[in-house]
Structure 1
């Protein structure tokens, strides 16, 4: 049978080279005819008509090609670039060892990234709304009557609902104050649940209404997966019950629904009981400091195959590599050759226990000249540079010029464990929070050492359970997904680098300026939009 090629213009799917879909007029199908085909219940037909769109839903979390951003701008061209910029707008990451004039330098120094007219703002908006539109285009065909009891259609609808919910939550994380820090009484987002090529603009709903919409989408997706018999699948790059639970747990954490966080993360942790071992936590140097050999095959943050925590990620070839280019000190790009070394703030480094192997994911002292392979250029790699995301080669390659070939992960179970511990601490269950943290600390204790606990971890003495969770979250999720920035918003923690010994920029930055303004384009073209 000939392949059927589908593409969307406006609200209509056009089909070419099809004998199977024998409809009139030739070479195109109306929306109503599409729904009739879907209602047939034939899985092959459903996959042919809607499979391409459904399979694209998870890929939107690994998206490249953000509107109006050129590919040369690594900061804002894809989702990993957006996360990296959030990473360096905090306390825990030092950008370089000297003042730099490369991508990321403005963000590190907090040069305007929130005002309505700055180009450092709008890519976050464009990305999220593109994802919402992509989801709604497919969901248009999946009304309740069409879906009925069909398991495949329920699976596809769940994928669209997850993407839409994820994107709306992303907007709320960036374009509104944290829910528990004043955001509850503020405006949320315009809520669009239908795609139309031209439709009337909507006003902003309340934050409560927006989060109710997000949670409803995710709860529906979870139920659809269960109805379709889809649980925790082995495919890391697909939406499944684990992904839906993880995103809902994150939304529930943001909104203070501690009971739901604990329930959801318990479900996740039952399916992902194992944590990254010491042998895979960052780079292993099989050479010398002068000529290091760090194979990504041994690094669980670059090779999903040896990382038992990956809930959602992408394999070599499909995975974006921007994160590695900007974080890897041996990359022939901004993270290495251009000296945009991503280093840990000495204040956080000194809080990592000596028996905690995560401390070895950062250089204790500077390394001598490293020779980058293409032109033989040398650089001194400064102290505190991360080895967490380091590799001198690419996956499956013996040529150092191929550095940067790696897998990518977006959600992992250690974060679910930390979300659970925080929910327990926030809800007053101090003993439960400590017990949950002890599982992480035992798993992060150096081989041969006595397992660490919250009571024996030196720098945790005198901390409240919530402060313990906050410290361990900063250590565990260092350099991942902009998490520190978003957590600082949730926890009302301002940036204050003044006492840091190795921060190049000693700025302070208040939580009140961590909320982006609605971009100028939206303000101009939506007469019902209200600015933050």
Structure 2
């Protein structure tokens, strides 16, 4: 792509902290950047690349499994073929993280950290250049600004989840958040310090509110409308941020707004299983699903099936549902039908046997990354209602989700907070929530079935609920403080 040609040298620098490396690039790089961003076509090429990089950072194995694996929803399938057939092992991509032993020097998540700041830098470039282009209307420029701001906020939010303790870790959220970047590297060398968690969330919310005010009816990019951020999916992100912050009034109001005004409705009980089983297309209640990558002939190079897929007894991926999760579903629950149960050759303590494994149907064939869907909004509204003394409203929202799944309905508001946690675990499994919910609710990690980590349990609070900032980045920026214990 022309986009990649122009930016390949510039984005050898993958994070805000590597400013000095950028200065060592050949003169003329900035001219190429100026050339790319001189008109609407170039800006839209950059925005397309921004989505491409975002999808490519959150869809692959590391982040795609992180919250569910750390929280206990996932375990490993045996090796399918070859000399190690039947052996169960940990993927090298997450080996340190899985045992809560990630190292700053060799962090499993270095590429995730770096790429998020690359994405943020690209978003900042778009925001800096767009006001000056002359061949776009103000409405078009506002739409571009809205999407870039949302992606900037989303990337910072993802970083805060992984590298900063939950918002209420300290009473006033004065603990370390992340570096929040609002200027591109092109504007000059800066070595910023990390914001507090309170400051980080304020900046995320400010970006999202500004974005919401700037959206028009549709993206200027080519593709499915649900592949790009819109006003309704940005509100969904804002509701999630308010939930993570514990701002219950705003969480309720924004989630309720999405439920009431987005025009999206819950997938019906009758079509729930069939909707998840559709190849290539997202479930009908989707608010945002990032498009999968396809070549010029329409072939898929990678998708969520590369992490969770099952094709045959000799062709399947590494991640399957743990019985810790499976056993939470009632037998009548339709969501229990969203698993492919397969008996696979397994070696246990040197003995050859077969064991049953459950592959999720959510991510078979060619699925994209499910970023936001309407079910989450009901569960956010339920939790926010409970926390604002509306227990009956909370129970009603949970029962909407449970009725759709053909699960038994709650008849009492007793233990409602735990029921919300469990409903989120069942409804949103493999969509990237469990470990962050555990931290947000100040719960302990307890992984039982299939756990082969050196550490399977963790008591909250723990310094290991966050990952280390990669050493490469702390070495470059003397003001970048490392997380405690690393």
- State the TM-score, normalized to the length of structure 2: 0.78
* Counterpart secondary structure, 2:46: helix
Aligned mates of 2:45, 2:185 — CA distance in 1: 20
Partner of 1:345: 323
Structure 2 runs not aligned, ≥5 long: 12-29, 79-85, 295-299, 347-351
CA positional deviation for 1:214: 0.9
Partner of 1:172: 160
The one of 257, 271, 275 equivalent to 2:266 is 275
* Counterpart secondary structure, 1:131: helix
The one of 343, 359, 384 equivalent to 1:386 is 359
The one of 337, 350, 354 equivalent to 1:360 is 337
The one of 313, 318, 326 equivalent to 2:289 is 313
Would you say the 8 A contact 1:420–1:436 is kept in 2?
Answer: yes
CA positional deviation for 1:192: 2.1
Matched, 1:195 2:184: yes
Would you say the 8 A contact 2:77–2:357 is kept in 1?
Answer: no
CA positional deviation for 1:222: 0.2
CA positional deviation for 1:190: 2.3
* Counterpart secondary structure, 1:94: strand
* Counterpart secondary structure, 1:330: strand
Aligned mates of 1:234, 1:4 — CA distance in 2: 21
Structure 1 residues 309 and 152, CA, compared in 2 at 3 Å: closer, same or farther?
Answer: same
Aligned mates of 1:390, 1:59 — CA distance in 2: 19
Structure 1 residues 501 and 342, CA, compared in 2 at 3 Å: closer, same or farther?
Answer: closer
Partner of 1:453: 409
Partner of 1:22: none
Would you say the 8 A contact 2:267–2:284 is kept in 1?
Answer: yes
The one of 116, 135, 139 equivalent to 1:151 is 139
Matched, 1:518 2:438: no
Structure 1 residues 171 and 332, CA, compared in 2 at 3 Å: closer, same or farther?
Answer: farther
Aligned mates of 2:71, 2:146 — CA distance in 1: 35
Partner of 1:71: none
The one of 323, 332, 337 equivalent to 2:304 is 323
Would you say the 8 A contact 2:291–2:369 is kept in 1?
Answer: yes
Deviates most, 513-522 or 157-166: 513-522
Aligned mates of 1:81, 1:141 — CA distance in 2: 33
The one of 128, 131, 142 equivalent to 1:140 is 128
The one of 40, 62, 67 equivalent to 2:55 is 62
Matched, 1:255 2:245: yes
Structure 1 residues 145 and 510, CA, compared in 2 at 3 Å: closer, same or farther?
Answer: farther
Aligned mates of 1:145, 1:106 — CA distance in 2: 43
CA positional deviation for 1:175: 0.7
Partner of 2:46: 53
CA positional deviation for 1:153: 0.4
Would you say the 8 A contact 2:103–2:468 is kept in 1?
Answer: yes
The one of 233, 236, 241 equivalent to 2:226 is 236
Would you say the 8 A contact 1:184–1:208 is kept in 2?
Answer: yes
Partner of 2:81: none
CA positional deviation for 1:211: 1.2
Partner of 1:531: 482
Q: Which has the higher contact order (CA 8 A, sep 6+)?
A: 2
CA positional deviation for 1:186: 0.6
Structure 1 residues 146 and 134, CA, compared in 2 at 3 Å: closer, same or farther?
Answer: same
Aligned mates of 1:384, 1:108 — CA distance in 2: 24
Matched, 1:418 2:379: yes
CA positional deviation for 1:184: 1.0
Would you say the 8 A contact 1:496–1:508 is kept in 2?
Answer: yes
Structure 1 residues 428 and 184, CA, compared in 2 at 3 Å: closer, same or farther?
Answer: same
Structure 1 residues 104 and 31, CA, compared in 2 at 3 Å: closer, same or farther?
Answer: closer
Structure 1 residues 398-434: Cα deviation after superposition (integer angstroms, max 9, x where no partner): xxxxxxx344432211112111111112222211111
Number of equivalences: 440
Structure 1 residues 32 and 407, CA, compared in 2 at 3 Å: closer, same or farther?
Answer: closer
Would you say the 8 A contact 1:89–1:107 is kept in 2?
Answer: no
Would you say the 8 A contact 1:345–1:503 is kept in 2?
Answer: no
Structure 1 residues 238 and 327, CA, compared in 2 at 3 Å: closer, same or farther?
Answer: same
Would you say the 8 A contact 1:523–1:530 is kept in 2?
Answer: yes
Structure 1 residues 300 and 272, CA, compared in 2 at 3 Å: closer, same or farther?
Answer: farther
- State the TM-score, normalized to the length of structure 1: 0.72
CA positional deviation for 1:337: 4.2
Would you say the 8 A contact 1:99–1:504 is kept in 2?
Answer: no
Aligned mates of 2:97, 2:175 — CA distance in 1: 28
- Looking at CA atoms only, which structure, 1 or 2, has the larger radius of gyration? 1
Structure 1 residues 122 and 308, CA, compared in 2 at 3 Å: closer, same or farther?
Answer: same
Aligned mates of 2:178, 2:97 — CA distance in 1: 29
* Counterpart secondary structure, 1:204: coil
Deviates most, 118-127 or 320-329: 320-329
Structure 1 runs not aligned, ≥5 long: 12-27, 38-45, 65-75, 283-297, 371-378, 395-404, 446-450, 456-460
Q: Please provide the CA RMSD for this pair.
A: 3.8
Higher helix fraction (1 or 2): 2
Structure 1 residues 486-530: Cα deviation after superposition (integer angstroms, max 9, x where no partner): 111111222223xx4555568212341111122101111101111
